[in-house]
């Protein structure tokens, strides 16, 4: 598992296929909260588990699933 402290706000999140997933708003409680202002967010915050992260390279967070797969699995409500 990747060290969550390496993930920076406003980093770009991409799927394993290189497809854009979103932009990091915040990291906490085992998940990444994506900005709601991102083009594909539809005005909602989306949350993805930190378990999806396979690498952090500078200002890019790479996931272990394609962008489409992530978008099928993300949620609009964070962890309790």
Count the domains in the chain. Answer: 1
* CATH number, residue 17: 2.30.30.240
Please state, in angstroms and rounded to a whole number, the distance separating the CA atoms of residues 8 and 27: 8
**Chain center to CA of 26:** 9
The radius of gyration computed from the CA coordinates of the chain, to the nearest angstrom, equals 11
Please state, in angstroms and rounded to a whole number, the distance separating the CA atoms of residues 17 and 31: 21
What domain range is 59 assigned to?
4-72
In a domain, 22, yes or no: yes
Please state, in angstroms and rounded to a whole number, the distance separating the CA atoms of residues 27 and 24: 8
The dihedral sign for the CA sequence 44, 17, 72, 24: negative
Per-residue tens of pLDDT for the chain, all 80 residues: 688 999 999 999 999 999 999 999 999 989 999 999 998 888 999 999 999 999 999 999 999 999 999 999 999 987 64
In a domain, 62, yes or no: yes
In a domain, 77, yes or no: no
pTM exceeds cut of 0.85: yes
Q: Which backbone phi and psi does 25 adopt, to 5 degrees?
A: -100, -45
In a domain, 25, yes or no: yes
């Amino acid at each position: 598992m990747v060290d969550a402290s390496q993930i920076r706000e406003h980093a770009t999140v991409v799927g394993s296929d290189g497809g854009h997933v979103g932009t990091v708003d915040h990291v906490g409680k085992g998940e990444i909260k994506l900005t709601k202002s991102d083009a594909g967010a539809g005005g909602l915050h989306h949350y993805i588990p930190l378990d999806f992260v396979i690498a952090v390279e500078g200002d890019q967070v790479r996931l272990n699933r394609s962008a489409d797969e992530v978008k099928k699995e993300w949620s609009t409500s964070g962890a309790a």
